[in-house]
Amino acid sequence: MRASRFAAQVLVMGLAVTAARVLADAPALPSPAPLPPLPFAPGERLAFRMTYAHLLAGRAVIAVEPGLREGRPVYRLSLDVRSEGLFAWLFRYRVDDHTVATWDPATGCSYGIEKHLREGRAARDQVVRIDPVTGTVTVEDAKIAQKVFQVGPCALDVFSAFFVARQRGFGRDGQLTVRVFDNGKVYDLPFRPVGYETLDLPPPLGRRLTQVAEPVVPPGSGLFTQEGRLLVWVTADARRIPVRIRSKVPVGSVSGDLESYRSPSSPTTGRTPD
């Protein structure tokens, strides 16, 4: 018995050594590809001067801030638009819009958006919560009767879609399209490349080549009041920084030009939604 037990132990040890050699000689499994760096991160802040007919109409600020949701790091993407100057005083038209979207840089999915819009005598408040796993969306908005929607996994709110477009790029020959839930509807939001233009931008950007794109946003999104074409200029580099906006309104158009830019505190990595 002792001899057979000893032989068994020797056999087990021999198999273990052989297995170790095989594993050592086997090619290593490729490590996962690193996530690409995001062109935006917490700390980024863009301030725009809004004009109508060359008159100061207001200012808009886009900012990226850090946040937490159920222990996960998220980005809080905010847009504030306020009227000021002679135009607002002359026409007695006040705008005070505040929009905040919550976006997960690790998955590229949206967790929802809040809009608090005050434009003239009109007021609208909307809270949208998105479950990126189940694809369930709940909406709090007096103007939307249906409160629960099924939209599929990893839907984007309309503001996060602009940041995902910055991440993916608009393309040269084709167009970028992202799936969006907004105002009780699911639709494809295309970003059509229009062309290129060199602009003189505020420090630290300076003179830059920019790419022009047309996001086909339905009226009523609350991002920028428009009745027709919306054009966006972004720097023609990996950061794709928005530097100019042209938005059609019932009479004429509103322009937004970058006044100041603060770069992110540190670069981060992330995914885009499938």
Predicted confidence (pLDDT) per residue in 171-200, tens digit = 766 789 999 999 999 999 999 999 999 999
Contacts (Cβ under 8 Å, ≥6 apart) of 90 = none
Q: How far apart are CA 113 and CA 99, in angstroms?
A: 7
Q: How far apart are CA 256 and CA 247, in angstroms?
A: 8
- In angstroms, what CA-CA distances link 58 with 118, 156, 168? 14, 28, 30
Q: How far apart are CA 130 and CA 153, in angstroms?
A: 9
pLDDT given at position 220: 62
Q: Label residue 235 exposed, middle or buried (CB < 10 Å: 0-12, 13-18, 19+).
A: buried
> Which tens digit of pLDDT belongs to each residue from 53-84?
888 999 999 999 999 998 999 999 999 999 99
- Mean of pLDDT values over 244-261: 88
- pLDDT interval class at 31 (50, 70, 90): very low
pLDDT given at position 14: 40
Q: How far apart are CA 120 and CA 118, in angstroms?
A: 7
pLDDT given at position 228: 65
pLDDT given at position 30: 37
This prediction's pTM: 0.81
- pLDDT interval class at 12 (50, 70, 90): very low
What are phi and psi for residue 167, nearest 5 degrees? -70, -45
- pLDDT interval class at 15 (50, 70, 90): very low
Hey, what amino acid is at 217?
A: V
> Which tens digit of pLDDT belongs to each residue from 129-168?
999 999 999 999 999 999 999 999 999 999 999 999 999 9
Q: Is the pLDDT of residue 266 over 80?
A: no
Q: How far apart are CA 249 and CA 252, in angstroms?
A: 6
Q: Label residue 37 exposed, middle or buried (CB < 10 Å: 0-12, 13-18, 19+).
A: middle
Q: Is the pLDDT of residue 5 over 90?
A: no
- Mean of pLDDT values over 105-127: 95
- Mean of pLDDT values over 212-226: 72
Q: How far apart are CA 61 and CA 261, in angstroms?
A: 10
Q: Is the pLDDT of residue 9 over 80?
A: no
Range with the lowest mean pLDDT among 79-83, 84-88, 234-238? Answer: 84-88
- Mean of pLDDT values over 244-257: 86
Sign of CA dihedral 137, 138, 141, 145: positive
- Mean of pLDDT values over 38-57: 94
Nearest to 149 by CA among 138, 140, 160: 138
